Amino acid sequence: MMGTIRVNGSDEVLSADTVAALLSGRGIVPGTPGVAVALNGAVVPSRRWDQTPLSPGDALEIIRPVQGG
């Protein structure tokens, strides 16, 4: 698979075919508490990570809560 994907603001080679595959490569599995994902500006619930395909040019945001005011 060719092309790039933007993950948290950085471009990288797209080597995963689904959101779940990309996340599991980083040690994040569905049900990991406190993690949420948005693909191209829309939240992808964790139960749909494995059914959500990635395409070149996609933008993925992976977030977690941190200390804040």
Partner 1 sequence: MHTDTLTIAGRNLGSRLFLGTAGYPNQQVMLDALDASGSELATVAIRRISLDGYSESLTDVLASRFGGRVGLLPNTAGCLTAKEAVLTAQLAREALGVDWIKLEVIGDRELLYPDVEELLRATEELVADGFTVLPYCNDDPVTCRKLADLGAAAVMPLGAFIGSGLGIRNPHAIETICTRSPVPVVLDAGIGTASDAALAMELGCAAVLLNTAVSKARDPVRMAAAMRDAVVAGRGAHLAGRMPKRAFAEPSSPQLGLIGT
Residues that bind partner 1 (CB under 8 A): 7-9, 26-28, 33-38, 41, 43, 45-46, 61-69
The DSSP result for 12-44, as a single string, is EE---SBHHHHHHTTT--TT-TT-EEEETTEE-
Instruction: For residue 54, count other CB atoms closer than 10 A to its CB.
Output: 21
Nearer to partner 1, 2 or 10 (CB): 10
Nearer to partner 1, 21 or 35 (CB): 35
Residue 29 C-beta: closest distance to partner 1, Å:
11
